[in-house]
A and B are shown apart, each in its own frame.
Chain A
């Protein structure tokens, strides 16, 4: 039996060349989560799929196959591409890199897909990208099973709290980063209006993500560093 799923929305996270005319792509799909797939990219002008297979371009895809590595049966545009430039684009790369490096394959996460779509649309609008980034990071963490238990933070006596994977929030410990409790509690409600709270959220997220990544590094961060210089 040939198993062809119905078309579903997807975004391309990353692609690399494979054999002569094929691409190995990683997609974030609405129904199946992150999927790796092989696609014949075409060699003639008319069959060329490379213009479609770009990041930040809403796609409708059909996947085939039962193994981990699917084959991409059809791919079509689903709406307009989201034109990101400059630091917005770097933010987009950052999201893609997070997903490629942290999200396990083939675990459905429709909520995260929606958030991803919203986040890159947000980048495209004027204004700071940080709230959208933090919002996405928090959701990614809870998708990965790392729910932050903010009640623990609330229960702490002092003004500063620390976080560890084993214990969750606790009174600020020596040798661990300390975060202002009131800022952390704002994070609980996904409130990012305050600059200081945003900063705290950024530092907390960075600590968590670095620990999750282990010895891998996020290369997209380098782009931001250069830009500020």
Chain B
């Protein structure tokens, strides 16, 4: 048996979501049709609005429907003269939740990965270079992921920023809070040892 064309199309459309295959898509479609029409309509209008209006912030490349995102517009954050470079918008949220950081962000939307064909031009590094050239930033914090590609990206940016009058720092690597040394992998542990700090009493 086949579904009517529109139902089929709805199911097919759900499949574009990550981790959603045929069966899940079918379940989602039936759920909306049978139990939650209102939610479905809301999803449709929001999705439509979002897809049309959301772009990238002109300064930090985060997703926003305005030209500048909220963080970039805030004068208080501008004053701190700190710029944190991260890979993904999700990283911004993670850092924001700590409440530790009061500066601005720059989002690369990925990392250098030659095999996947992602080069320096795809990460908006020209935008970052402009930003640094304007002299509004005193310190760049490289908060790319602690993977080999993340390190490569950090190094690339550090080289770029080297000639400019900015401090460059990299987030520390180490043992997670509440973790057990026994279960930490050797790589992390050796990073933690080489990057050890003086004990302040």
- A77 to B187 Cα, complex, angstroms: 9
- Chain A residues lying within 8 Å of B131, measured Cβ to Cβ, are none
- Chain B residues lying within 8 Å of A50, measured Cβ to Cβ, are 147
Residue ID in chain A nearest B18 by CB atoms: A20
Minimal beta-carbon separation of B174 from chain A (angstroms): 13
- B186 proximal to A (CB < 8 A): yes
- Do A218 and B116 form a contact, CB below 8 Å, given A77-B186, A89-B148? no
Minimal beta-carbon separation of B123 from chain A (angstroms): 12
Binary contact readout B108-143 vs A (1 if CB under 8 angstroms, 0 otherwise): 000010111111100000000000000000000000
- Do A54 and B120 form a contact, CB below 8 Å, given A86-B155, A93-B114? no
- A75 to B62 Cα, complex, angstroms: 37
- B161 proximal to A (CB < 8 A): no
- Chain B residues lying within 8 Å of A14, measured Cβ to Cβ, are 115-116
The winner among B19, B120, B151, B155 for most chain A CB atoms within 10 A is B155
- Chain B residues lying within 8 Å of A56, measured Cβ to Cβ, are 148
Q: Which of A45, A84, A223 contacts B120 (CB 8 A)?
A: A223
- B70 proximal to A (CB < 8 A): no
A interface size (C-beta, 8 A): 35
- Chain A residues lying within 8 Å of B155, measured Cβ to Cβ, are 85-86, 89
Residue ID in chain B nearest A54 by CB atoms: B148
- Chain B residues lying within 8 Å of A227, measured Cβ to Cβ, are 159
- B176 proximal to A (CB < 8 A): yes
**Pairs across A and B, CB under 8 Å, 21 listed:** A14-B115, A45-B183, A51-B185, A51-B187, A52-B187, A54-B147, A54-B187, A77-B185, A80-B190, A84-B148, A85-B155, A90-B152, A93-B114, A96-B114, A219-B114, A219-B115, A222-B119, A223-B152, A223-B156, A226-B156, A227-B159
